[in-house]
Structure 1
């Protein structure tokens, strides 16, 4: 067991060292000050991770490892079997109008069919920011895009999984949910989560009106899925069961606390998680599924708009979730969340999709438009990343995944053990 842990740590260190080389090379060629600062922060974080892993390796090499005497069981202790399954993962679509819908659909469909040989999808996952300003026109365009996609690639409403992002709440509704009052006349409790203190004037939040920020997103969800998207935060952990693929996909709202005052307050509502996990425990059919969670915001980012309270990840790992999908940062990434240290322990593979349709001004330098096609079979996940560099151009392979010293990067990566 100690040898396995040591090898895993050494492999992880090598991957981080390769990533460090890539980041340092990027830093040299970037001229934008903001991008250079972001890269410097990422470099520091990776260097810290390398130092921590090196210390763990040194400890293992100098001290005898103590093997655990008990083997804990988990919901996924048995092998998970998945038939050939193709999942389209799109994020940060930022639809503007119906012209976007027609153009984006055609380029995507052509890439899926002719370049990737995919004529049928088993699921479509949208991990937030479907709209740009969360207005009706944008969701009409998004609905047109999805209708075309589902028609050609044989998708049903149950196979479409949607999580909202920060661009899926309406800022006008957000503003109207606060009322200005004289501080001296206000007799209620001054709760910082419900009051904006401006000295003599305070803005008081109407909680019921506040939930209406997601009204247009909810209408869109109803049109696509045929069911309401709940505005109550504790009900926004929605389970999507696909028995033919042996998949259970949980969508979560990481933007539930965001508004025009609090633009970086990303997180997952604790009761939304609790309610979903309770349902899973009570349903035997869910126990040996591959469990995937979907939300919008990242866990790790140099910016403040990341999810800072990551305790919910421990609960997902305990419940047998093995894959998490998100977006928001407008660039494809992957990482690993380890709950147990041993190589066969509980963990979540985190897959981030880049932006599918953001305006050029919002592209991250070096990262064009992107999307992911996920292929599952048996116990293996292959993530294929595609890129589009020209607004009216074609999708192409995005060979950015480093494979080691002396090897060319690939446009895909594989996760070979999902148990």
Structure 2
């Protein structure tokens, strides 16, 4: 398989970006040239990708100049990642809705479908967004507001979860209506069965994530999100990427039909966050590497690598306290008692000849443990350590790539 997918979300190009080169003329920003800094980071890390995903809030106020600048900057980002323009794939967020048009049309007795068409005119008018949607099946401004791009190795679907959003809606949670879910089901059925890697993107978050940055309750989860995840699982999509919440997260959900959904909440690539979170939350760039499929379960296997940017420090590998880790694997699942039993047996064999174990070396020798999620491994290793009297050095603070296991 060997497919690499870069992810940048919530750019807020215009008045909401952290840098002057991602802002319109005259906008105050903390950084002068974010793009050059990103190019240097990509070159230093040797990063390349096959696809680039942008799951919404591309602009800050959905005006035409912002979309023109966004088209230019996203195309430049794709170029430095060596992604061809045709493989830039995206969906709108709530900040990509032209609220000025909604207000102007208010009281003029336009139908809902006419207003929806009007408020996405700037988004669909030109640039890379117009060109790449011409290659897709479906539209973001027509029911069921779902598009599909199909390539030789990958199928990508993008859903407009902001379509019913407007200036008076609080909170901006996103919405998928019950009758729309029926149409989405039909749309996906019409794509036919495929063994390709299948990715699904939308903007709003489908899960209620733990939020430690604010004490106020968060009611911005997408309405009818559970139904949407059921449909996505039904058609066995491998990976979901979304934006909206500027704090990144990575989760694996096992649905009722037994299919696992890997869900990446991407955070924000370039929104102005430093002053808002006092450098507790930074900007993020992700690279999802899809390696292969498990020969038994057929689950897709791979890793998510994440870097965080702070204005004072630049790009660095992400720390777990920021929401995601520098590397998180996916693609394996076992009930915890079975995984604990396997880990116990294997670690007992290793500790018969060693006083300590470096986790990366252990996984290289026993690759059957490689693709379990970090949280699954943490929970299982803690249970094993209690039974074997082991010390898991800084397991909750460090990445598993840095874990040392010691005899107690």
Normalised-by-shorter TM-score class? 0.5 to 0.7
Structure 1 residue 308: Cα displacement: 2.2
User: Distance in 2 between the 1:257 and 1:87 partners?
Assistant: 29
Q: What is the CA–CA distance in structure 1 between the aligned matches of 2:71 and 2:306, rounded to whole Å?
A: 24
Give the match for residue 95 of structure 1.
13
The number of residue pairs the alignment matches comes to 300
Matched, 1:176 2:97: no
Q: Distance in 2 between matches of 1:103 and 1:231?
A: 32
Q: Map 1:40-119; keep pairs closer than 5 Å.
A: 83-96=1-14, 99-100=21-22, 103-115=33-45, 117-118=46-47
- Greater helix proportion: 1
* Map of 1:400 onto structure 2: 320
Distance of 1:215 and 1:133 partners within structure 2: 13
**Residues in 2 aligned to 1:176 and 1:159: alpha-carbon distance in whole angstroms:** 35
- Quick one: distance in 1 between partners of 2:157 and 2:266? 17
- Cα distance 1:350–1:315, how it changes in 2: closer, same or farther (>3 A)? same
Moved more, 323-332 or 261-270: 261-270
Is the contact between residue 9 and residue 267 of structure 2 (CA under 8 Å) also seen in structure 1?
yes
Equivalent residue in structure 2 for 1:149, among 77, 81, 95: 77
Do the aligned partners of 1:87 and 1:121 also contact (CA within 8 Å) in 2?
Answer: yes
Distance (whole Å) between structure 1 residues aligned to residue 322 and residue 72 of structure 2? 37
Per-residue deviation, residues 2-61 of structure 1 (Å, max 9, x unmatched): xxxxxxxxxxxxxxxxxxxxxxxxxxxxxxxxxxxxxxxxxxxxxxxxxxxxxxxxxxxx
TM-score by length of 2: 0.66
- 2:240 corresponds, among 321, 324, 342, to 324
Aligned match of 1:416 in 325, 328, 331? 331
Q: Aligned equivalents of 1:398 and 1:361: distance in 2?
A: 15
User: Residues 347 and 364 from structure 1, CA distance in 2 versus in 1: closer, same or farther, beyond 3 angstroms?
Assistant: farther
Q: Name the counterpart of 2:63.
A: 135
Q: Which has the higher contact order (CA 8 A, sep 6+)?
A: 1
Q: Contact conserved, 1:174 with 1:213, CA < 8 A, in 2?
A: yes
CA shift, 1:222, in A, is 3.9
Q: Distance in 2 between matches of 1:288 and 1:211?
A: 34
Structure 2 contact 161–174 (Cα < 8 Å) conserved: yes
- The reply on whether 1:215 has 2:121 as its aligned counterpart is yes
CA displacement at 1:272 relative to structure 2: 5.8
* SS of residue paired to 1:209: helix
CA RMSD of aligned residues (A): 3.0
In structure 1, runs of 5+ residues without a counterpart are: 1-82, 181-203, 404-408
Q: Please, which of 238, 246, 265 is the counterpart of residue 352 of structure 1?
A: 265
Structure 1 residue ranges, 4+ long, deviating more than 6 angstroms after superposition: none
Residue 235 to residue 134, structure 1, CA distance change in 2 (3 Å): same
Evaluate the alpha carbon distance shift between residue 298 and residue 99 of structure 1 in structure 2; reply closer, same or farther with a 3 A threshold.
same
